[in-house]
């Protein structure tokens, strides 16, 4: 059988594509996912519904070099729903300036005015009005101040005391300041793209969802993508389709392209992969949001619900920056002690921790992805190059000091038993703080850019602005990897928006 559409990856964008394209009953859609599938809410394990993040049985197990010689875990969802099924549920939109940057790089179909209808189409937001949809597949909720944990309330008060504005709706295009995070939750449950887009539509006869299918490569014949090679049930099989769309995420989609012989020879020849098409940008332009934080032990008796983690956040513009909302600050009721291993004498005891962390949103540092081998079971080499750009470092130093001020202010100090790291000596020194940042800065799990879109004269562009892979007919990419630059917010809602936008074009024949 030949399908009209084969979509690889049932995550934030792939599930959207499958649901939208299968609205046409005459179009056959095959959705392939490497992880397990849960066809109803009743079947889903609690770790996909309740906690803030879930890495147990639904993770790719990626590791990355944050800096030379320092490896971190880089969690990505391996399950129908992808990372939308395991994320922190912060449902933020990009701001108009983010998309103007995309337009300035030759992608005029991605202006704020053109992406806003797709954002509205995906959401069911009680705020309504001119900027929000009210009947989309993804419900948006904002925790009321009365529901905030005491540490979260103190953080909010501390930011107000420092002069930041009180924000009711972070997703208004000009909103800046501190307030409740919008979240993709309903009745206490995380709502993934599986729950929002696929579960209601699984009865469609033209939609086939196959889980635990690991795609090795795209089959290309005479410059046309005609199918994919898939491992299913321990057997390597081929399945054919009129159009192939990779929506496997910013780490897996470029790896599939490379295993298919699509990419620069320097990345293919060491693994015995014959080059089908020279596309230098495959795996380049890896962009992530990275953070640094002040970690602490809370006083005994402080409410500490690790299933909530973060309810309130600050979006602000760094001093001296011309990029609106290029920084975030938030308090988290869990913090990774491994980040400061070897940098502090604080005992590694069990118990609660929390932190105030700063995150660079419009990062300039760029990493790259290469293959370790041609084996799809072996993860790619990920070199993140965090904080290698001087402006990124400057903003993180400023953000770390702001975190320190918030943690030591009269609003939060009553909840702090002791500071784990950094020390006051480190905070006071630009040089020591830069060393601390290089040794501890870590991911916020927002990897993008590795198959970036761009015009024909952009040598590193992998796809055009419609997601069509340059030089291969019938092959598309639609996920976070096509972002030419990272948005100044958590990336999940924008990844879903990309699925909506590309689905429009694929349905009407534009893309």
| Cα separations in angstroms, 373 against 147, 155, 232, 273, 385 | 49, 46, 20, 9, 21
Name every residue whose Cβ is closer than 8 Å to that of residue 130 and which is 6 or more positions away in sequence. none
Q: What is the full DSSP assignment across 108-121?
A: GGGSHHHHHHHHHH
- Using the Cα atoms of residue 347, residue 353, residue 354 and residue 357 in order, give the sign of their dihedral: positive
Name every residue whose Cβ is closer than 8 Å to that of residue 126 and which is 6 or more positions away in sequence. 134, 140, 141
DSSP assignment, residue 139? E
Q: Are 186 and 141 in contact (CB under 8 A)?
A: yes
- 245 forms bridges with which residues in the sheet? 7, 476
Q: How far apart are CA 215 and CA 495, in angstroms?
A: 21
Q: Pairing relation of β-strands 381-383 and 235-246? A: unpaired
Task: Please name the residue that has the structure tokens 């049985």.
Answer: 57
Q: How far apart are CA 137 and CA 65, in angstroms?
A: 36
Work out the number of other CB atoms within 10 angstroms of the CB of residue 414. 10
Q: How far apart are CA 243 and CA 27, in angstroms?
A: 11
Q: How far apart are CA 79 and CA 17, in angstroms?
A: 16
Task: Please name the residue that has the structure tokens 């903003």.
Answer: 395
417-436 as b/e: b if 16+ CB within 10 A: eebbbbeeebbeeeeebbeb
How is residue 15 written in tokens? 């599930």
Q: How far apart are CA 187 and CA 185, in angstroms?
A: 7
Work out the number of other CB atoms within 10 angstroms of the CB of residue 109. 17
Active site residue 75: no
Q: Are 11 and 193 in contact (CB under 8 A)?
A: yes
By CB atoms closer than 10 A (0-12, 13-18, 19+), residue 405 is: middle
Work out the number of other CB atoms within 10 angstroms of the CB of residue 182. 25
Q: How far apart are CA 279 and CA 469, in angstroms?
A: 9
Q: Are 304 and 417 in contact (CB under 8 A)?
A: no
How is residue 7 written in tokens? 């979509």
Residues annotated as part of the active site: 446
């Amino acid at each position: 059988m030949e399908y009209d559409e084969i979509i690889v990856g049932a995550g934030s964008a792939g599930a959207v594509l499958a649901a939208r394209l299968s609205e046409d009953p005459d179009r056959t859609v095959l959705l392939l996912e490497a992880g397990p599938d849960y066809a109803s809410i009743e079947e889903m394990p609690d770790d996909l519904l309740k906690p803030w993040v879930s890495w147990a049985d639904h993770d790719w197990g990626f590791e990355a070099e944050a800096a030379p010689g320092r490896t971190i875990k880089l969690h990505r969802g391996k399950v129908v729903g992808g990372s939308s099924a395991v994320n922190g549920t912060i449902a933020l939109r990009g701001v108009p300036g983010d998309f103007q940057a995309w337009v300035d790089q030759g992608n005029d179909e991605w202006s704020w005015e053109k992406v806003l209808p797709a954002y509205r189409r995906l959401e069911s937001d009680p705020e309504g009005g001119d900027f929000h949809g009210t009947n989309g597949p993804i419900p948006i909720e904002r925790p009321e101040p009365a529901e905030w944990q005491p540490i979260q309330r103190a953080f909010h008060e501390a930011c107000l005391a420092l002069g930041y504005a009180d924000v009711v709706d972070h997703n208004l295009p000009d909103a800046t300041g501190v307030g409740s995070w919008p979240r993709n939750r309903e009745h206490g449950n995380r709502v993934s793209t599986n729950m929002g887009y696929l579960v209601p539509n699984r009865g469609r006869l033209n939609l086939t969802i196959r889980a635990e299918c690991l795609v090795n490569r795209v089959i290309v014949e005479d410059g046309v993508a005609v199918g994919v090679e898939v491992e299913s049930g321990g057997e390597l099989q081929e399945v054919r389709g009129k159009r192939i769309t990779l929506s496997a995420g910013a780490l897996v989609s470029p790896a599939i392209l490379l295993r298919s012989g699509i990419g620069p020879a320097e990345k293919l020849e060491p693994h015995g992969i014959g080059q089908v098409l020279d596309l230098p940008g495959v795996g380049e332009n890896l962009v992530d949001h990275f953070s640094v934080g002040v970690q602490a032990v809370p006083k005994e008796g402080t409410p500490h619900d690790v299933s909530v983690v973060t309810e309130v956040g600050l979006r602000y513009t760094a001093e001296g920056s011309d990029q609106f909302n290029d920084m975030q600050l938030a308090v988290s009721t869990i913090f990774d002690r491994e980040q400061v291993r070897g940098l502090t004498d604080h005992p590694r005891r069990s118990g609660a921790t929390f932190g105030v962390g700063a995150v660079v949103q419009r990062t300039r540092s760029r990493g790259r992805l290469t293959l370790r081998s041609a084996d799809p079971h072996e993860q790619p080499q990920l070199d993140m190059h965090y904080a290698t750009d001087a402006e990124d470092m400057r903003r993180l130093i400023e953000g770390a000091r702001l975190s320190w001020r918030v943690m030591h202010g009269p609003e939060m100090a009553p909840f702090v038993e002791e500071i784990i790291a950094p020390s006051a000596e480190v905070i006071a020194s630009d040089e020591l703080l830069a060393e601390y940042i290089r040794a501890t800065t870590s991911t916020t799990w927002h990897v993008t850019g590795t198959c970036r879109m761009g015009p024909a004269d952009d040598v590193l562009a992998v796809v055009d602005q419609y997601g069509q892979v340059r030089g291969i007919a019938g092959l598309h990419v639609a996920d976070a990897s096509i972002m030419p630059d990272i948005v100044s917010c958590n990336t999940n809602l924008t990844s879903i928006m990309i699925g909506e936008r590309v689905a429009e074009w694929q349905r009407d024949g534009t893309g």
